[in-house]
């Protein structure tokens, strides 16, 4: 009998311990999500320092208030309520979407600000009207400008070729410099200005070896500007007047492409 009572007591104790463990509330994952939102908003607040971002700062303050409200509601809600869990999830998803949009806007503004700062630094560093090799020969300055172009610093290269043409208008390299000046605009997708500069190769240097290449790029520029008739005229002129050149092969390829596109 004593052994039976001891067994019953042991079972009762085991059930009591198990019951206590079952009654303990389980951790709510929503609390972790709210904490995550707090961390993200705190990070945004640290970077919002400039006056140009006041509107974003107001949005962050509003999100902070709503997050605090959500925290308060979460503390008082029962963990086993299905409707409450759904409401918490909806609130979290709404805040998460809005914070993500805010982060993307902030990132875009910071990228734009950094780009403007970099451009201003380049402009400040460059000396207006200066040759790449002050006091150097026309060939030295031409090769220096060409090196800048190869580095894909197209704005500085354009300035260098423009100053070259001003300083050495009678140079035997002037036609090449004019072509590469036009090219600095073309690669930056400034097609209207590129057209003007490529046309100068044709009009100012009618015997230049760069004629077929300049005429090809005139066709390309018209194509990018969706001037289909002008593009076709320039490209057909390349194939007829410079049939043995590499430019003629490229012009024929672009003409076939235009045919396929119905241009």
Query: What does the block give as tokens for 199?
Result: 């046309």
Q: The domain that contains 254 carries what CATH number?
A: 1.25.40.10
Q: Is 39's pLDDT higher than 70?
A: yes
pLDDT confidence of residue 14: 52
User: How many distinct structural domains can be found in the chain?
Assistant: 2
pLDDT confidence of residue 127: 44
pLDDT confidence of residue 98: 77
Are both 148 and 233 inside the same structural domain? yes
Give the tens place of pLDDT for each residue, 97-144: 777 777 777 766 765 555 554 344 334 444 445 799 998 999 999 999
DSSP 195-254: HHHHHHHHHH-TT-TTHHHHHHHHHHHHHHTT-HHHHHHHHHHHHHHSTTSHHHHHHHHH
Domain finish residue from 87, 103, 125: 125
The answer as to whether 145 is a domain residue is yes
Q: Is 259's pLDDT higher than 90?
A: yes
Please tell me whether the overall predicted TM-score, pTM, comes out greater than 0.95 for this model.
no
Q: Is 2's pLDDT higher than 50?
A: no
Give the tens place of pLDDT for each residue, 133-188: 998 999 999 999 999 999 999 999 999 999 999 999 999 999 999 999 999 999 99
Per the structure, the complete domain to which residue 142 belongs is given by: 138-261
Give the tens place of pLDDT for each residue, 60-92: 666 767 776 666 666 665 555 566 667 667 776
Are both 252 and 142 inside the same structural domain? yes
The answer as to whether 114 is a domain residue is yes
Are both 120 and 147 inside the same structural domain? no
Are both 114 and 148 inside the same structural domain? no
* pLDDT more than 70, % of the chain: 61
């Amino acid at each position: 009998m004593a052994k039976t009572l001891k067994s019953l007591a042991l079972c009762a104790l085991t059930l009591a311990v198990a019951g206590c463990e079952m009654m303990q509330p389980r951790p709510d994952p929503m609390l972790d999500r709210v904490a995550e939102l707090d961390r993200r908003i705190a990070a945004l607040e640290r970077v919002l320092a400039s006056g140009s971002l006041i509107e974003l700062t107001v949005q962050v303050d509003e999100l902070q208030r709503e997050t605090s409200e959500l925290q308060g509601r979460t503390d008082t809600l029962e963990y086993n309520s299905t409707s409450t869990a759904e409401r918490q999830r909806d609130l979290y998803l709404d805040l998460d979407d809005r914070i993500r949009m805010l982060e993307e806007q902030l990132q875009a503004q910071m990228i734009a600000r950094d780009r403007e700062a970099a451009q201003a630094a380049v402009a400040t560093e460059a000396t207006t009207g200066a040759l790449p090799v002050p006091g150097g020969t026309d060939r030295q300055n031409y090769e220096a400008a060409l090196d800048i172009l190869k580095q894909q610093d197209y704005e500085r290269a354009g300035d260098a070729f423009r100053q070259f043409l001003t300083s050495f208008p009678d140079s035997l390299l002037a036609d090449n410099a004019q072509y590469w000046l036009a090219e600095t605009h073309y690669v930056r997708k400034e097609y209207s200005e590129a057209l003007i500069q490529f046309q100068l190769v044709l009009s100012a240097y009618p015997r230049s070896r760069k004629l077929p290449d300049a005429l090809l790029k005139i066709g390309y520029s018209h194509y990018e500007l969706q001037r289909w008739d002008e593009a076709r005229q320039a490209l057909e002129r390349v194939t007829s007047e410079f049939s043995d050149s590499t430019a003629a092969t490229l012009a024929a390829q672009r003409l076939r492409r235009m045919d396929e596109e119905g241009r």
